[in-house]
């Protein structure tokens, strides 16, 4: 099957670690639950399967969730086509679109990229519909509409890859040599390719900086131990996995020169939601005078929120905590609280690296300046 590709991405910059690929029949998603032992792609050719892939974390990481959501809108509308009778009213078509939005918007709550992508797809849908005069939508108009949604989803993907390459360039100059600590997975697996925080690490290494990476295992889903370690091995970047609770003592011993993480949602004042455990790292970094960087594209900013207080924090199944590798690790009947994210206050963040430049405090003003006017 021919993969859908556009010439806009330079081959040398395209990524060899693929979280998903898209051909004319379906979206194929690398099932990250099975990494590193199995590299299996899940065939998502219906809205339900795309939603399931996001919800159950076959695909995860804020930018990747956004891209897959955008492709999901296209897949969902294409799927709906068979059940529609043409010509149909614009009102009926809007109802179909609202159904897709509702389904995808409830897949996961914290990564704002999901909602950002839905908004982009809706705007593309409305633009395309606006071009078709009359109240009725013909089969031909519907096909054109699908085509414009496919193009919009591809643009979202390409923009993300470009943003990652830019962030990598800006961020790699900031990273010192020595031990760099990262949390969760922010690499090609979590994005449209290359990565955000891990992309910065990758570029610094490519530029010849002498770094080695402390990989937080990131309980309970083990994005660090399973996914970041998998990417770093492929890239031949030196690393060691540490248990999440080792980070503080390593900092005390002077073995961490900088921390860099990604983000799921950044409020207008710089407060940042990211994988649970990020907040503790930021407090420890402050205590030990270690720079704490966040790398995220502008699609991760939520300027509707004035602070991190309004960020919805996902609570996932307690099974993820109580079981490991399918086996129970706690007495039967134990309960667990599984907060998937936390919010790091802006004052703990040294700088935020975006594709539009590096943002330093004071964040409220500088985020406005760079993202609203930039
Ligand atoms: O629950 P996940 O694995 O989707 O959480 C991912 C993270 O917290 C990442 O750090 C964040 O999305 C940035 S990915 C470039």
Residue 139 scores a pLDDT above 90: yes
- For 10-22, b/e burial (b = at least 16 CB within 10 A) is eeeeebeebbbeb
**Full-model pTM:** 0.95
3-state class of 265 per DSSP? strand
Is ligand 1 within 6 A of the CB of residue 276?
Answer: no
Q: How far apart are the C-alpha atoms of 80 and 71, rounded to whole Å?
A: 14
The Å distance, Cα 262 to ligand 1 centre, comes to 7
Helix extents (H) in the chain: 47-55, 62-81, 90-105, 112-131, 139-174, 197-206, 229-235, 247-252, 278-288, 319-322, 363-367
Read off the tokens for 48: 């339900």
pLDDT value at residue 14: 53
Rounded to 10°, the helix 62-81/139-174 angle is 170
Residue 11 scores a pLDDT above 80: no
Mean pLDDT for all residues in the chain = 94
- Is 271 annotated as catalytic? no
pLDDT value at residue 10: 44
Is ligand 1 within 6 A of the CB of residue 263?
Answer: yes
* Ligand 1 mutation pick, 63, 186, 197, max ligand atoms within 8 A of CB: 186
The Å distance, Cα 185 to ligand 1 centre, comes to 6
Condensed to tens digits (0 to 9), the pLDDT of residues 222-254 reads 999 999 999 999 999 999 999 999 999 999 999
Q: What percent of the chain has pLDDT over 70?
A: 95
**Of the residues 15, 160, 216, 264, which is catalytic?**
264
Residue identifier of the C-alpha nearest atom 8 of ligand 1: 275
Residue 13 scores a pLDDT above 50: no
Burial degree of 111 (CB within 10 A; 0-12, 13-18, 19+): buried
* Radius of gyration of the chain, Cα coordinates, nearest whole angstrom: 21
pLDDT value at residue 15: 72
Is ligand 1 within 6 A of the CB of residue 196?
Answer: yes
Alpha-carbon distances, residue 74 vs 40, 99, 119, 168 (angstroms): 23, 13, 13, 30
Q: How far apart are the C-alpha atoms of 22 and 202, rounded to whole Å?
A: 25
Residue identifier of the C-alpha nearest atom 6 of ligand 1: 61
Condensed to tens digits (0 to 9), the pLDDT of residues 252-302 reads 999 999 999 999 999 999 999 999 999 999 999 999 999 999 999 999 999
CA 286 to chain centre: 26
Alpha-carbon distances, residue 255 vs 33, 211, 246, 325 (angstroms): 31, 11, 11, 31
- For 185-218, b/e burial (b = at least 16 CB within 10 A) is bbbbbbbbbbbbbbbbbbbbbeeebebbbbbbbb
Condensed to tens digits (0 to 9), the pLDDT of residues 329-367 reads 999 999 999 999 999 999 999 999 999 999 999 999 999
């Amino acid at each position: 099957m021919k993969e859908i590709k556009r010439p806009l991405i330079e081959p040398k910059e395209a990524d060899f670690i693929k979280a998903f690929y898209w051909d004319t029949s379906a979206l194929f998603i690398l099932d990250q639950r099975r990494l590193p032992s199995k590299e299996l792609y899940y065939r998502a050719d219906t809205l339900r399967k795309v939603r399931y892939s996001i919800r159950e974390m076959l695909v995860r990481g804020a930018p990747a969730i956004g891209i897959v959501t955008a492709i999901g809108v296209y897949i969902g509308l294409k799927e709906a086509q068979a059940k529609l009778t043409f010509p149909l009213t614009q009102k009926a078509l809007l109802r179909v679109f609202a159904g897709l939005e509702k389904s995808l918007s409830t897949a996961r709550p914290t990564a704002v990229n999901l909602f950002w992508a839905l908004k982009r797809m809706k705007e593309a849908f409305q633009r395309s519909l606006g071009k078709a005069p009359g109240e009725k939508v013909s089969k031909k108009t519907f096909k054109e509409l699908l085509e414009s949604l496919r193009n919009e989803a591809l643009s979202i993907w390409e923009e993300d890859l470009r943003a990652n390459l830019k962030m990598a360039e800006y961020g790699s100059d900031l990273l010192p040599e020595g031990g760099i600590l990262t949390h969760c997975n922010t690499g090609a697996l979590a994005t449209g390719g290359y990565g955000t925080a891990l992309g910065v690490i990758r570029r610094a290494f490519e530029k010849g900086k002498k770094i080695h990476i402390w990989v937080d295992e990131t309980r309970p889903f083990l994005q660090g131990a399973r996914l970041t370690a998998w990417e770093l091995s492929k890239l031949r970047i030196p690393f060691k996995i540490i248990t999440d609770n080792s980070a503080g003592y390593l900092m005390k011993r002077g073995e961490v020169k900088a921390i860099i993480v990604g983000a799921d949602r950044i409020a207008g004042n710089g407060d940042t939601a990211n994988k649970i455990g990020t907040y503790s790292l930021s407090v420890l970094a402050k205590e030990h005078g270690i720079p704490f960087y966040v790398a995220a594209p502008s699609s991760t900013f939520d300027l509707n929120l004035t602070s991190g207080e309004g960020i919805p924090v996902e609570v996932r199944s307690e099974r993820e905590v109580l079981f490991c590798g399918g086996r129970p690790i706690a007495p039967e009947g134990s309960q667990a609280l599984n907060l998937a994210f936390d919010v790091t206050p802006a004052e703990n963040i040294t700088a935020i690296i975006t594709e539009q430049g590096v943002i330093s405090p004071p964040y409220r003003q500088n985020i406005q300046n760079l993202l609203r006017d930039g």
